[in-house]
Amino acid sequence: MPPKDPRSSLGVSAMFEKLGDWEEHFAAKVERDSRSKGASHAPLLPVVPDRITWDTFLTSVRGEWKDWKSDLSGCPACLLMLYCGLAFYEYDENRFWPQFAKVVGSEELPANQQSEINTAFASAARQFRLELKLRGNGTDFVGSAVNLIGIPLSLWDGFLEVCDWALWHKDWRSLSDEEWDDVVEKRSGSRTRLRRFLTENRKSASGFIQDVLDVREILLGDPQLTIGDIARASVLRQEYFDDVPETADFLRPQDPDSLFRFRVRLIWDEQRQNISLLLPAIGREKLPASWGVGSLRQEAAPSPDELVLNSDSFASMLAVTLQLGDERETQYVRGINNWALFDLENGGRLVNVSRDQLPLRSYALISQCEIELVSRDGFDDSDTQANERFELKDGTVCFLTRLWPTGKHAELCLKIGGRDSRTIRFKTRARIEARFITGWGPKTAHFNRTPDGKIKIDHLPIPCVAIPSGYFKDDSAALASEFKVFIDGKAASGWWEHVDVRDSPDRNCYRWKWNKMIWLEHRPGVTTLRSFSQLDDAFKSPDLRGDRRISIEAKPHISENIAVWMVGREGEAINRCWDNLPGAFVPMFLLCQSTDGMKWEDLVLAKDVIAPLSRFSPYILRKYERLGVAVQRGRRWMIRENRAESIALPGASFQLNYCGDPSILWGLYRRMICDIPGENLPVIEVIDKRGEAAYLKMTWPTQSREVIEHYLHRNSVAFGGSLWTH
C-alpha cells in the first residue's frame, strides 16, 4: 500500500464553510506551526493550506468578501492566509492586486481599498508576532508575504538553480555579502523578487538552501524514500514536486521518477488518442482494490496501469480515489481545464502552465477551443499546424499544437477566450553536465559496439563538460582543479578546450584534448640513467589497445565513465571517405552515441561538441520517427531500425543507400579495406532532398555486393525495395 499522501483526504476543506471557522483553524495553526521545523526560514510556509483546501477557503472568502472587507480586523488569521496563499500559489513579479481582486471575486480594488487591506494585514502580522519587511520609508507588504512563506511556486525552479550552484561551492556560506549579491544576480536573472529574497534575507535563504541540500543527500542515500516521506519530514512541500518536476531531477538525479512511485499523473498519448491517468502499482497483499474518478471505475493492479479519461480530463481538478477494503484514499490531480501542456519527453505528463518558465523540451498543447497563438518563437513551425483538430478515442474533439524546440531558448505567447495574453519562456536547465562523445565531426561514428556493450574504437573518446555562464569565477581554473579524467583509474594527461558554440549565451562547453603522451611508463630492464639523453629510452607512452575504462570525475557530484575496447588504426584511407559527414545526417550521428537513447538536453550538448555550428530540431527526429527509423520512448530518443537498399548501376558497380546507425558503416569500411585498396573505397555522400529525411549514399564495386550485404545483414540492417517502405 502506498504511504498516505499529505492530500489523501478532504480534511478541513470539507469541514468549514464560514470564515469564522477558518479563522479559528488558521489562528491555531499559525500559533503552532509557525514555530515548528523550518519556521525560522519561512514561519508561515507550514501553515499555507494544500491546494484543495486553499481553493475551498477561497470559496468562503468570495462568499463573505462583501461583508468581510468592511471589517478585515475581524478575521486576522484569514487575512494572513489570503496574503500568504497568494504569495505561495499565485505570485507574479508585477501583478499582486489583480490576482487579489480575482480570488475575492471583485472587478478591481481601488487604491484606497488596497491601502486599507495592507493596513489590516500589517496589524494581523503584528498580532501574531510576525516580522514585516521594510522598504524605503514604508512597509513592503507583498515582500513581507513572500518572506513569510519563503519561495513562491513560480520562483522555485530558479531557486533550485541556486541550490545546484551551491553544490559546487563548499564555501558558499562564507562568501562576503558583496560576493553573495554577485552570485545571486547571475543566478536569479530577471526574477527580481527571488533576488531580493536571497540577498535581503540571506540567513533565511541559506537555511532553505541547506535544507534542500540535506534532503538531496538523504534521498541519494535511501532509494526507497518517496516525495510523501520527504514532504512530511522537511520544509519541502508536496507542491514543489507536483508543480516543478525539476525538484525530483535535482534531489535524485539518477532516478527522479522513483520519487513519484505512488503518485497519480495525467498523461497524453497522441498515438492511442487518449488522455489518461497513470496509476501506481498496488501491492498484491492489498488487492483487490479499485480506482475511481467520478463515475469511472477500474480495478487496481500490481503493476503501473492507466485509466482512460478523455472527455473527463477537461476539468480544473480531478479527485482520484483508491478504495482499499474499508479504507479510502484520495489524491487530487490537475485537469486540463481550458488548455494544458504535456511534456512529450517525460512520458506525455501534464505540466503546470501557471509557471512563467519551463524546461526546454517538446510539448503538446491541448485545448478545448482554438487558442490564439500570438507567437511561438524558438519552436519549429515549418510543418507543425497550430490548433490542429484532434479527435480522442471517445469522440471528444480538442485542438492540438505541437511545440518542438529548435535551440536552447523558446517563448510561447497565447491568448485564451479574449483574455490578456500569457507568455511562457522555455530554457535549458542551468546545471553542470558531463558526457562522453565518441569523437567530433566525421570521427563521431568511428566506432563499433561489441556484444557485451563496449565501444570498439580506434581513438580515445572525448570527455565533455558544459558549465552555466558565471557558475565559477574562472571556468579554466575550476576545470583544471576539479574535473579530472582517468584511464583505468590512472590520471590522464591533457587539458580542457573551450568549444565555440552557436547560440549558447547561457553556458560554456568544453572538450578534453588528450596529450600525445597520456602518461609515461617505465621501460622494463632500464634501471639506471646516466644522462638526460637516456630519458627517451627509459620511458615510453602506454599501449592503450585492449579494454579500458575512461572516466570524468568531479567529486562528489560528477562521475561519468565509458568502457571501450581500443583497436589499432587503419590509416587515413577510411577518414578520407567520411569527410562529408555528418552534414544533414547529424541526427543519426547524435543518436548513435547511446543505445539507451538520449534526452533533448543530451542531444543538444552532444550537438554542441560534435557539430557546434549546425542547426538541429526535434522536427527532424519526428520525420525519422514517422519513417520508422527513430523512436521516442519516454523522454529518450533512439534509433529504432537500420535500413539499406542496393541499386544496380551500369557497369560493374552498385549504389548503396543507408539510413540508421552510421557506426555500422565504419565497421563495414574496416572490413572492406581488407578487400579493396584504400584509394578505391567509396566516399560517403549525404543526400538531403527537400521534404525528405537525409540518408547516405555510396557506390561500391559489384564484386563486393555479396560481402557487403552479408555484413549488413549480420549487423541487423534491414534490406528492402526502398529505404522508407520497409
Of 237, 255, 273, the last residue of a domain is 255
Helix (H, G, I), strand (E, B) or coil at 240: helix
Q: pLDDT value at position 428?
A: 80
Percent of the chain whose pLDDT exceeds 70:
91
Q: Are residues 250 and 283 both part of a single domain?
A: no
Only one residue has cell 549546425, namely 614
pLDDT bracket for residue 506 (50, 70, 90): confident
Q: pLDDT value at position 7?
A: 39
Low-confidence winner among 340-349, 452-461, 606-615 (lowest mean pLDDT): 606-615
Residue 671 lies inside a defined structural domain of this protein: yes
Q: pLDDT value at position 526?
A: 54
Q: pLDDT value at position 518?
A: 80
Kindly tell me the sign of the dihedral angle through the C-alpha atoms of 245, 248, 253, 254: negative
Residue 4 lies inside a defined structural domain of this protein: no
For residues 427 and 409, the answer to whether their CB atoms sit within 8 Å is yes
CA 101 to each of CA 32, 70, 92, 192, 592: distance values in angstroms, whole numbers, following the listed order? 30, 15, 14, 23, 54
pLDDT bracket for residue 524 (50, 70, 90): low
Q: pLDDT value at position 522?
A: 52
Q: Are residues 369 and 385 both part of a single domain?
A: yes
Query: Of 64, 69, 86, 77, nearest to 24 (Cα)?
Result: 77
Q: With a cut of 80, say whether residue 541 has pLDDT above it.
A: no
* Segment 18-76, tens digit of pLDDT: 899 999 999 999 888 765 544 557 888 888 998 888 989 999 999 999 999 999 999 99
Q: pLDDT value at position 500?
A: 83
How many domains would you assign to the chain?
A: 5
pLDDT bracket for residue 687 (50, 70, 90): very high
Calculate the average pLDDT of the chain.
86
Q: Are residues 379 and 278 both part of a single domain?
A: yes
Q: With a cut of 70, say whether residue 13 has pLDDT above it.
A: no
Q: Are residues 159 and 128 both part of a single domain?
A: no
Q: With a cut of 80, say whether residue 208 has pLDDT above it.
A: yes
pLDDT bracket for residue 307 (50, 70, 90): very high
Q: Are residues 421 and 282 both part of a single domain?
A: yes
Q: pLDDT value at position 405?
A: 82
Strand 447-449 relative to strand 455-457, pairing: antiparallel
Of 130, 149, 168, the last residue of a domain is 149
Return the exposure string of 322-350: e unless at least 16 CB atoms fall within 10 Å of the residue's CB, then b.
bebeeeebbbbbbbbeebbbbbbbbbbbb
Residue 5 lies inside a defined structural domain of this protein: no
pLDDT bracket for residue 572 (50, 70, 90): confident
Q: pLDDT value at position 117?
A: 93
Of 255, 283, 316, the last residue of a domain is 255
- The DSSP-derived string for 464-530 is EEEEETTSSS-HHHHHHHH-EEEETTEEPPEEEEEE--TT-TTEEEEEEEE-SSS--EEPTT-----
For residues 268 and 342, the answer to whether their CB atoms sit within 8 Å is yes
* Segment 356-408, tens digit of pLDDT: 889 888 899 999 999 888 888 888 776 668 899 999 999 999 999 988 887 77
Q: pLDDT value at position 532?
A: 55
Axis crossing angle, helix 76-89 with helix 111-127, rounded to the nearest 10: 110
Q: Are residues 213 and 275 both part of a single domain?
A: no
Average pLDDT of span 411-433:
84
Instruction: Report how far apart the first and last C-alpha atoms of the chain are (Å, whole number).
Output: 46
pLDDT bracket for residue 201 (50, 70, 90): confident
CA 231 to each of CA 51, 178, 267, 371: distance values in angstroms, whole numbers, following the listed order? 14, 34, 23, 36
Domain limits at 512? 432-569
Q: pLDDT value at position 558?
A: 87
Q: With a cut of 60, say whether residue 640 has pLDDT above it.
A: yes
Average pLDDT of span 505-530:
72
The radius of gyration of the chain's CA atoms, rounded to the nearest angstrom, is: 30
CB atoms under 10 Å from CB of 216, counted, come to 18
Residue 623 lies inside a defined structural domain of this protein: yes
CB atoms under 10 Å from CB of 519, counted, come to 13
Residue 134 lies inside a defined structural domain of this protein: yes
Q: Are residues 276 and 241 both part of a single domain?
A: no
Q: pLDDT value at position 530?
A: 58
Residue 131 lies inside a defined structural domain of this protein: yes
Q: With a cut of 60, say whether residue 704 has pLDDT above it.
A: yes
Q: Are residues 391 and 436 both part of a single domain?
A: no
Q: With a cut of 80, say whether residue 538 has pLDDT above it.
A: no
CA 45 to each of CA 130, 536, 697: distance values in angstroms, whole numbers, following the listed order? 13, 68, 62
Q: Kindly report the pTM of this predicted structure.
A: 0.79
* Segment 228-244, tens digit of pLDDT: 777 665 678 888 888 88
What span, in angstroms and rounded, lies between the C-alpha atoms of 338 and 683? 55
Q: With a cut of 60, say whether residue 108 has pLDDT above it.
A: yes
Q: Look up residue 405 and give its DSSP letter.
A: B
Q: pLDDT value at position 261?
A: 79
Residue 1 lies inside a defined structural domain of this protein: no
Q: pLDDT value at position 2?
A: 46
Residue 6 lies inside a defined structural domain of this protein: no
Low-confidence winner among 35-39, 204-208, 474-478, 608-612 (lowest mean pLDDT): 35-39
What span, in angstroms and rounded, lies between the C-alpha atoms of 471 and 102? 40
Q: Are residues 531 and 586 both part of a single domain?
A: no
For residues 358 and 366, the answer to whether their CB atoms sit within 8 Å is no
Strand 422-427 relative to strand 357-359, pairing: parallel
Average pLDDT of span 614-627:
83
pLDDT bracket for residue 225 (50, 70, 90): confident
Tell me which of 91 and 483 has the higher pLDDT: 483
3: left (phi over 0), alpha (psi -120 to 50) or beta: beta
Q: pLDDT value at position 10?
A: 38
Q: pLDDT value at position 243?
A: 85
Which residues have C-beta within 8 Å of that of residue 613, sequence separation ≥ 6?
502
Q: Are residues 86 and 198 both part of a single domain?
A: no
Q: Look up residue 616 and give its DSSP letter.
A: -
Average pLDDT of span 100-112:
87
Average pLDDT of span 324-328:
88
Q: Are residues 463 and 486 both part of a single domain?
A: yes
For residues 101 and 108, the answer to whether their CB atoms sit within 8 Å is yes
* Segment 136-186, tens digit of pLDDT: 678 888 888 888 888 888 889 889 999 999 999 989 999 999 999 999 988
Q: Which amino acid is at 713?
A: H
* Segment 474-496, tens digit of pLDDT: 999 999 999 999 999 999 999 99
Among 146-155, 344-353, 652-661, name the most confident range: 652-661
Q: Are residues 723 and 575 both part of a single domain?
A: yes
